Structure 1
Amino acid sequence: MRVRSLQGDTIDALCHRHLGRTVGVVEQVLELNYGISLHGPVLPTGTVVELPDLTTQTNRAEMRPLFQLWN
């Protein structure tokens, strides 16, 4: 999916607005958009950004055992 940045947008903001999350997605966006980090943390208005398709990926949450200090 291709989106355009609004004034003051960061990659995090784009991911959260269009995909609903940022964990693990920001790294994918940086891989899909070679050189986008050269713009700095705030993207210029109107920058076209390719976002990953999360519907084809599985949501693999890691299950960790609960660790309690006191029983």
Structure 2
Amino acid sequence: MAATFERVVVAGDEITLDLLVWRRFKRRKDGVVDRILAANPELATGGPYLAVGTVVLIPIDAPTPGALRVEAVRLWN
């Protein structure tokens, strides 16, 4: 699975990697924190909070065909 990377700069205090993922994707995504740590191994040594100004590369997967399909919901006949 090919991924591009989005560059995010930490701009606040007491930001954890999990919170950064939540703010970026607006939901919990399994395996993303592990992939971020693989792309940014230096993040694993600094403690739970990311320092202000830290650059984090977040992998963004290309959408698969058909993944963006939305089913219509009919409320009335």
Q: Using structure 2 for the length normalisation, give the TM-score.
A: 0.65
1:11 is aligned to 2:38: no
Deviation at 1:26, TM superposition (A): 0.4
Unaligned runs of 5+ in 1: 59-71
2:8 alignment partner AA: V
**CA drift at 1:27:** 0.5
Identity of aligned residues (%): 37
- Structure 2: distance between partners of 1:25 and 1:4: 17
Q: Does the aligned pair in 2 maintain the 1:12–1:22 contact within 8 Å?
A: no
| 1:2 equivalent in alignment to 2:12 | no
Q: RMSD of the alignment, in Å?
A: 1.5
Residues 29, 51 of structure 1: 8 Å contact kept = yes
**1:27/1:57 Cα in 2 relative to 1: closer, same or farther (>3 Å)?**
farther
Displacement of 1:32 after TM fit?
0.6
In the alignment, structure 2 segments of 5+ residues that lack a partner are: 1-5, 65-77
Deviation at residue 57 of structure 1 after TM alignment = 5.9
2:23 maps to amino acid: R
1:45 aligned partner, one-letter code: V
Q: CA deviation at 1:12?
A: 0.2
- Correspondence for 1:39: 46
- Structure that is richer in strand per residue: 2
